Amino acid sequence: MSLQATTSQTVGPFFLIGLERLFVDNLAGPEASGERVEIEGRVLDADGQGVPDAMLELWQANAQGKYAHPEDTQAKNVEPGFRGYGRVPTARDGTFRFTTIKPGRVPGPEGKLQAPHIVVSVFMRGLLRRLITRIYFPDDPANSEDFALNLVELGRWGTLVARKSTKRDDLLEWNVVLQGSDETVFFDC
């Protein structure tokens, strides 16, 4: 039996009503191990204007590189209280922020480890389908050998790798640019 996946439709402007209940902007409870980071940024449209009605969903492994999911059969422990799920809306000026821990490395194709990353879905009015991208971490030596980054031309890596903020050591900056010369790399996934 073969069916076809249901057509995606936009979340529209009023998704808060249905999706606000599972907003999570702190992915790591107090007991979660790992290096704590805060990530902030903006979602920007073709005119460089902040998008006030977007939503990001985040999914990541724990600090040991283990996903809280039965498909992850690595001999590593899940941590109580760490799911690895986040969902954050943008504010009127298109800004978003969330707190988490830097994930560990997880397996990629052919058993090679991927660099630490967070997978991201982007939803908003105007998007009939979600956009998919990744957040990588600055100055991580594993980035240069990461299989997904190596699918991308080097000149665009900056759209996937967060930057250290000048404001605080544990603050990273990462934007979602929908169009233009700095357009974020989105994946067909």
Partner 1 sequence: MPDLPGYRRPYPGTQPNYLHPPYVSSIKRAPSRPLVYLPHTLSEVTGPLFDSSVLDRKACDLTRQHHGEPLGERIIVSGRVLDENGRPVPGTLIELWQANAAGRYLHKVDQHDAPLDPNFTGCGHTLTDSNGHYRFVTIRPGEYPWKNHYNAWRPAHIHFSLFGPAFATRLVTQMYFPGDPLLPFDPIFNCTADEKARNRLISVFDWETTMPEHALGYWFDIVLSGRHATPWEK
- Show contacts with partner 1 in window 124-163 (CB under 8 A): 124-132, 147-148, 151-152
Instruction: Determine contact, residues 142/9, Cβ cutoff 8 Å.
Output: no
Q: Compare residues 52 and 164 and give the one whose CB is closer to partner 1.
A: 52
Positions 86 through 125 that interact with partner 1 (CB under 8 A): 106-111, 114, 117, 119, 121, 123-125
- CA pair distance 111, 59, nearest whole angstrom: 21
Positions 34 through 73 that interact with partner 1 (CB under 8 A): 45-47, 51, 53, 57, 59, 61, 67-69, 71-73
> Which of 117, 115, 110 has its CA nearest to residue 132?
117
| Distances from the Cα of 134 to the Cα of 14, 29, 75, 144, angstroms | 26, 22, 25, 15
- Residue 64 has a CB neighbour count (10 Å cut-off) of 17
Q: Compare residues 143 and 184 and give the one whose CB is closer to partner 1.
A: 184
Shortest separation between residue 164's beta carbon and partner 1, angstroms: 23
Q: Compare residues 37 and 133 and give the one whose CB is closer to partner 1.
A: 133
Instruction: Determine contact, residues 182/159, Cβ cutoff 8 Å.
Output: yes
Shortest separation between residue 4's beta carbon and partner 1, angstroms: 5
